[in-house]
Amino acid sequence: MSIFADRETRLVVQGITGRDGSFHTRQMIEYGTQVVAGVTPGKGGQQFDNRVPIFDTVEEAVLQSGANTSVIYVPPAFAADAMFEAADAGVEFIVCITEGVPVLDMTRVRPFVDEKGARLLGPNCPGLISSGKSKVGIIPGNITDPGPVGLVSRSGTLTYEVVAKLQGAGIGTTTCVGIGGDPINGTSFIDCLTAFEEDPETQAIVVIGEIGGTDEQDAARFVQENVTKPVVGFIAGQTAPPGRRMGHAGAIISGSSGTAEEKIQAFHDNGIGVAKRPLDVVGLIQEALG
């Protein structure tokens, strides 16, 4: 199976006529994703590539196309409004690719999305890909094949690297999810671990974390208490100097709670095998799958 997106996903693209939106819409369609609508205010009534209807609002798009999932490719200044609009229109799953969304905006968006009963992935994330079924976001479709491994990561580029290495070893994935590394986001490690645990086709799970915050420690404890499938991990930022922000806005160490050492220890303490390098994830997964 897969988690969060599959062949039944009906996708509306917010910002479909922009540079990034148009490029990745074509990639998603080529992969086989059901892109049923696009939204660009002022361009309602037009078509994207003569096949995807464009609407002025998400509400119109949902009513006319039956879209249940949205992906957002709009500038940071408009991303919060796009997430508000999607949730208000009844979209069940909202994926925000946009980087640089102000944290203050997210303090308003996250509770609103939760109140509406929608799931948010991101912002500042690569989205997800359910191998052979549906691609929502920017993860390349040619680097993974269907298989038994579920992957969740805070880092987009490390997602690509690890998935490609697994593919090179003949190991495919059920779903790869990039949750993003902003201080306030939607879907968490624990949300993904829960879904992978419940997915009968996922036999092993990869967790890719990074310095900053305590999400990885929380995930490790959750694995110990609730996950029966083998889990392996990697922590990025092991050479980062204390107090230095590295990459993601959330990747900043405060005291000892956000260090790579503390996270790696939490993984070890809770039965999660830890790779020293991204490449080493392959060997750990091979052992886990037997």
Of residues 79 and 155, the one with the higher pLDDT is 79
Report the C-alpha gap between 1 and 181 in whole angstroms: 26
The top-level CATH class assigned to 139-289 is: alpha beta
Sign of CA dihedral 18, 15, 250, 235: negative
- Picking from 209, 62, 56, 33, the residue whose alpha carbon sits closest to that of residue 137 is 33
In the structure encoding, which two tokens stand for residue 268, read together? 């070890």
In the structure encoding, which two tokens stand for residue 234, read together? 């990697």
At 105 the three-state DSSP class reads helix
Backbone angles phi and psi of 274, in degrees to 5: -115, 125
Angle, in degrees to the nearest 10, between helices 215-226 and 189-198: 20
pLDDT per residue over 62-94, tens digit each?
A: 999 999 999 999 999 999 999 999 999 999 999
**DSSP letter string over 42-53?**
T-TT-EETTTEE
Residue 256 has a pLDDT of 54
Is the full-model pTM beyond 0.85? yes
pLDDT mean across residues, the chain: 94
Residue 227, H or E segment: none
- In the numeric block, the tokens 């998603």 are attached to 28
In the structure encoding, which two tokens stand for residue 210, read together? 């990074």
Contact at 8 Å (CB) between 209 and 179? no
Residue 212 has a pLDDT of 85
The pLDDT > 90 percentage for the chain reads: 89
Same fold, 10-121 and 139-289: yes
Residue 78, H or E segment: helix 76-88
Q: Is the pLDDT of residue 241 over 70?
A: no
Q: Is the peptide bond before 41 cis (omega within 30 degrees of 0)?
A: no
List the domain boundaries for the chain.
10-121, 139-289
Report the C-alpha gap between 245 and 145 in whole angstroms: 34
Q: Which of 133, 135, 165, 248 is catalytic?
A: 248
* Strands 47-48 and 231-236, bridge-based pairing: unpaired
Does 248 qualify as catalytic in the annotation? yes
**CATH number, domain 10-121:** 3.40.50.720
Q: Is the pLDDT of residue 262 over 90?
A: yes
Q: Is 239 exposed, middle or buried (0-12, 13-18, 19+ CB in 10 A)?
A: exposed
pLDDT per residue over 2-44, tens digit each?
A: 999 999 999 999 999 999 999 999 999 999 999 999 999 999 9
Residue 54, H or E segment: strand 52-55
Contact at 8 Å (CB) between 5 and 93? yes
Sign of CA dihedral 11, 15, 16, 22: negative
Report the C-alpha gap between 104 and 107 in whole angstroms: 5
